Structure 1
Amino acid sequence: MNYTLHQLQIFLKVSQIQSITKASQELHLTQPAVSIQLKNFQDQFPIPLTEVVGRKLYITDFGKEIALAAEKILNEVYAINYKTLAFQGELYGRLKISVVSTGKYVMPYFLSDFMNANAGVDLIMDVTNKSRVVESLELNEVDFALVSVLPEKLKVNSIDLMPNKLFFVGSTDLNYTNIKTKKQVFEALPIIYREEGSATRNAMERFIANHNYLVRKKMELTSNEAVKQAVVSGLGCSIMPLIGIKNELKNKDLKIIKVKGLPITTNWNLIWLKTKKLSPAALAYLEFLNANKQDIIDQKFSWFTEFKSS
């Protein structure tokens, strides 16, 4: 046996995701590189680790046993590294955070200074949909989650980071001159929604229902980026978080359309389970946030006040 830690990491990730393509994306490697290392790892065993049925990759029972062993080995390696740093008096550990998709425009700014100051802390940040974020928190897979709407069924602690404002926006190329009322905006133009379960989608549907707007034609897209590009292209209008459209507004690719009752304002909250026993790294991060969050908002998000309904 002559496998490497790198091969163990790759096989473990492939076994968790059951997809070479997705594993390569999460590992920031090319798909051929992952495939080659996976083959080199497989060649050291007389029993198959994976099998392909149809076009789907499956992990064999033997492969699952090897994946468990790989995880234990890698955890021991991490422990050695962390213990070394501890003896040197440095903060160490892993910080695991799950972030709703629009939160990717927020969370990195509240992490960068902390991570730069603590070289012994590793960051794992999963950007995904709201349902998966809540699930990962409930299953105790992460330390923290970033959400704009607090989950109703979980007992959590939270830190309020900053406002989340949602405006009605459309392409600057669209002609609104023939639309006399804002109600007609929703009835005359295609409206683009996020997928079911999205916090933005829920807020948008509540707003439309509360104002008795009739949507003539609607489309559904599964990411904020997809919605943004569709609106920029003139495919339709949407209610979108301001945090994700800064450049498009400044470049005049998008414009805010004044509608009574907008913007909708919620708050970005970093949450964690009340029963969670936080690691030293996680506790240190909470201390950092409490001491520095306002400075981060002032330095990185002062542009927020520039945009108003017009």
Structure 2
Amino acid sequence: MNYTLHQLNVFLTITELGSVTKAAEALHLTQPAVSIQLKNLQDQFEIPLTEVVGRQLYITDFGKEIALASQNIINEVEIINQKLITYQDQIAGKLKVSVVSTGKYIMPYFLTDFLKKNPGVELKMDVTNKASVVRSLEKNEVDFSLVSIPPSTLALEHITLMQNKLFLVGNASSELKVNKPYKSNVLESIDLIFRETGSGTRQTIEKHINQQNLTVKRKMELTSNEAVKQAVVAGLGHSIMPLIGIKNELELGDLKIIPVKGLPIQSQWQLVWLKNKKFSPAAKAYLDYLIEHKDEIITKKFEWYESP
């Protein structure tokens, strides 16, 4: 056997993406170059790693075993490289974070200075809905996840970052006034715009509505906070939205907060990780950094938000 790390990495990418073409794009190589590396690896085994049915590439059971072994080998090599860099008083390696979509407004501020101080750290941040974030935690695919309501089905540890506050908002032309709080049943008289099923924001809002025994009119549901925000600005309805994502629109007067008794809905942004998680040097260094600097970051970047 005389396979190389490069061949293993190419094959692993092919198995993850299910396509030589997509693997070539991901690796910034030509398709023939990827095909050659796959052939050179295959030539060292008597059992097929892949098979083509029609025009679709499939990984054989043996190929899946080789892919798993390849991942383990590459992980060990990364650990060796990280140990070398650590002995050189540097921090390096991958830092993998999944973030619920509204968390994109705060998470970068808790990462920027750490990444500047540690240029050897490679960040992979997936911004998605809560259901996908929970799946990435369950599969141990990430070091940390940012959520406002941690899943109760997993054994987790956490560090609390800051408040998450949801208000009823309308556009500048909304007939609802801002000078006197409405009763909670005002939500029954307006068209509400919701996030999609699986969104943490939607789950929080629906829980609040059920607790208040309200029957509301769902005008539409959209798959991102940005889409919801633009729909409200355009006058398509009202929505209960995280304050963190609408600062500019409030300052410009495109949106206004409608005071309602029982609002805002409040929770806490939490960075969570699996209990007994074995951290890489990069992940451990980031957690230490966050514990030391989070209050400073909040004061510096989010004073407008944290004040009453």
Q: Report the TM-score, using the length of structure 2 for normalisation.
A: 0.79
Asked if residue 42 in structure 1 is aligned to residue 43 in structure 2, the reply is: no
Structure 1 residues 77 and 173 mapped into 2: Cα distance closer, same or farther (>3 Å)? farther
Cα pair 2:192 2:216 within 8 Å, conserved: yes
Residue 149 of structure 2 is matched in structure 1 by: 149
**Change over 3 Å in CA distance of 1:52–1:256 after alignment to 2:** farther
- 1: distance between equivalents of 2:156 and 2:72? 30
The equivalent of 1:28 in structure 2 is none
Q: What is the aligned partner in structure 2 of residue 245 from structure 1?
A: 246
3-state SS, counterpart of residue 259 of structure 2: coil
SS in 2 for 1:303: helix
Does the 8 Å CA contact 1:82/1:120 hold for their aligned counterparts?
no
Query: Which amino acid counterpart does residue 132 of structure 1 have in structure 2?
Result: S
Contact 1:42 1:49 (8 Å CA) reproduced = no
1:283 Cα offset (Å)? 2.3
Structure 1 segment 163-242 matched on structure 2, within 5 A: 163-176=163-176, 182=183, 185-242=186-243
Check conservation: 2:184, 2:261, Cα contact below 8 A: no
SS, match of residue 124 in structure 1: strand
More displaced, 216-225 or 97-106? 216-225
Which structure is larger by alpha-carbon Rg, 1 or 2? 2
One-letter identity of the residue aligned with 1:135: R
In 1, Cα distance between the equivalents of 2:101 and 2:205? 16
Find the counterpart in structure 1 of residue 59 from structure 2: 60
User: Does the aligned pair in 2 maintain the 1:49–1:63 contact within 8 Å?
Assistant: yes
Q: CA deviation at 1:187?
A: 3.0
Contact kept in structure 2, 1:195 and 1:201, CA below 8 Å: yes
The structure-2 alpha-carbon separation of the partners of 1:242 and 1:11, relative to structure 1 and needing over 3 Å to count, comes to farther
Structure 2 residue identity aligned to 1:37: T
**Structure 1: distance between partners of 2:227 and 2:19:** 23
107-116 or 63-72: which moved more? 63-72
Structure 2 counterpart of 1:300: 301
Matched residue, 1:117: 117
Residues 6-49 of structure 1: CA deviation (Å, up to 9, x unaligned): x976774564245899x79xxxxxx9787973454125539896
Alpha-carbon spacing, 1:247–1:68, altered in 2? closer, same or farther (3 Å): same
Distance (Å, rounded) in 2 between the aligned partners of 1:84 and 1:217: 56
User: Where does 1:245-264 land on structure 2 (aligned, <5 Å)?
Assistant: 245-264=246-265
Structure 1's unaligned 5+ residue stretches are: 25-30
What is the TM-score of this pair, normalised by structure 1? Answer: 0.79
Cα RMSD for the two superposed structures: 3.5
User: What is the CA distance between 1:188 and its match in structure 2?
Assistant: 3.3
Instruction: Give the direction of change, closer, same or farther, for the CA distance of 1:283–1:79 in structure 2 (3 Å limit).
Output: closer
Equivalents in 2 of 1:18, 1:182: separation in Å?
A: 54
- Cα pair 1:149 1:199 within 8 Å, conserved: yes
Distance 1:264 1:279, change over 3 A: same
C-alpha displacement of 1:222: 1.9
Q: Report the Cα offset of residue 121 of structure 1.
A: 2.3
Q: Is the 8 A contact 1:161 1:293 kept in 2?
A: yes
Deviation of 1:162 after TM superposition, in Å, equals 0.6
Is contact 1:50–1:63 with CA below 8 Å preserved after alignment? no
Aligned partners of 1:97 and 1:145 also within 8 Å: yes
Between 1:289-298 and 1:111-120, the stretch displaced more is 111-120
Partner of 1:280: 281
Alpha-carbon separation, structure 2, partners of 1:80 and 1:162: 36
Does the aligned pair in 2 maintain the 1:191–1:219 contact within 8 Å?
A: yes
Question: Separation in 2 of the partners of 1:127 and 1:15?
Answer: 23
Question: Any unmatched runs of 5+ in structure 2?
Answer: 43-47
> What secondary structure does 1:133 align onto?
helix
Q: Which moved more, 1:58-67 or 1:102-111?
A: 58-67
Cα deviation, 1:130-170, whole Å, max 9, x if unaligned, reads 12222222222222111101221222111111111111111
The answer on whether the counterparts of 1:101 and 1:224 sit within 8 Å (CA) in structure 2 is: yes
- Report the Cα offset of residue 114 of structure 1: 1.3
Mapped contact 1:50–1:60 kept (Cα < 8 A): yes
96-105 or 9-18: bigger deviation: 9-18
CA distance in structure 2 between the aligned counterparts of 1:299 and 1:69, rounded to whole angstroms: 46
